[in-house]
Every structure is written in C-alpha cells, then in structure tokens.
Amino acid sequence: MKCLNQYRTNPENLSAEFGMHDRYSTERSRVTRTIKQIVVYPSYNGKSSRWVHDIALLQLSYSLIFNPFVRSICLSSMPNFVQIGDRALVTGWGDTHGTGNFRYLREVEVPIQSNDQCKLKDLNLVTTICAGLCQNSTCDACQGDSGGPMVLLRYGRWHLIGIISWGFSCAGLGVYTKISYYADWITKIIYS
C-alpha cells in the first residue's frame, strides 16, 4: 500500500501491467490497464512503523482477458495453509546486491520462518508472514520488489499467500502481508 499513497486521489494516473517479463520490451503477452479505483484496507495508517495492514486492492478500468501469460491465482484463506519450512516463491524487478533494478522479472525461493524467529523482531504474526534467511545463499526480496506476490504451489495450483511488504535488509528476513488474514475483506470488496 505504501507504494500507492501518491495515487489515492487520482488512480487513473496509475496503470497495471500483466504478462510482462521484460520491463523494456513491448512483448505481445503484455497487457496494460489503467486503474479505476484504489481500495485501501480500513486500518492502514500510512506510517512506516512496521507497515501494519500494508494492503490495497486495485480496481481495473476494464476486465482482463486471460491468456497463457495472464491468469488468475488462488487466494489463501485458511490461516494454517502456510507451514514453517514451506518454500514460497517471490518475484520482482528489485535490487540485488546493490546492482539496481533488473530488466527481466526475477524469482527467488524463500523459506517460511518459525514464529520464534519472527518474534525476535517484534512482528505482528497474525497479519504477516516472515521468510528468508537461507542457509549459505541469498534469498529475499529487496528494494523495488514491494507489492509483488509471494506464492506457494500446493495441490497442483499456485496460491497467493503474501505480498512483499518490507524487510530488515536485502537477503535477510523479509516481511510479507499475510493474504489469509485479509481474505474475507478481499472477498467482500470484490463482490460489492
């Protein structure tokens, strides 16, 4: 949500890209939609103190037509759907090792951390997922990835389980907005 604050009063100045892999190419798979409305979670306060309730929904100017590059994803609504040690996938064009943002969409697998690991950082474990801190390798989202998806393959389908929110450092412990906590709100907004 923190990335959308500047567009809240004029959402039509914002657009969303779908099916994009190369940021600087006009790929045939790429679909652009302007934004009609931004719906912010009611308890979001816009302060950087841990970015609690860091979630918003974007209403597109008109519907998407699905194709091999643009598809829907399942939403995780069960609180215990994600387990410690699960390896989720996060994607983005953000910074890696101080080299700046990437041209091509990148992905990294991140392990879901235990509540004990997360409590060390005084996090709200009801509304967030903590992941990262891989053994002997770098795995985390970084600057420029915020708002991106955290997905998990389960039962043969991809499930959106989190949204990249913030972290203590790149390649360290990352904090993700937990979709299951907001599932009822998301459903209410979609069908209202």
Q: Are residues 42 and 137 in the same domain?
A: no
Q: Is 7 left (phi over 0), alpha (psi -120 to 50) or beta?
A: alpha
Q: Quick one: 96 and 48 in the same domain?
A: no
Count of domains for the chain: 2
Q: What is the pLDDT of residue 137?
A: 62
Q: Could you read off the pLDDT of 29-87 as tens digits, one per residue?
A: 889 999 999 999 998 877 655 678 889 999 999 999 999 999 999 998 888 899 989 99
Same domain for 46 and 129, yes or no, is no
Q: Give the per-residue pLDDT at 35.
A: 94
What span, in angstroms and rounded, lies between the C-alpha atoms of 188 and 192? 6
Alpha helix segments (H runs only) across 97-178: 115-119
- The number of residues in the chain equals 192
CATH number, domain of 15, equals 2.40.10.10
pLDDT value of residue 108: 86
Which positions ≥6 away from 49 have C-beta within 8 Å? none
Cα 34 to Cα 13, 63, 87, 125: the distances in Å are 7, 11, 33, 34
Full residue range of the structural domain in which residue 20 is found: 5-71+185-190
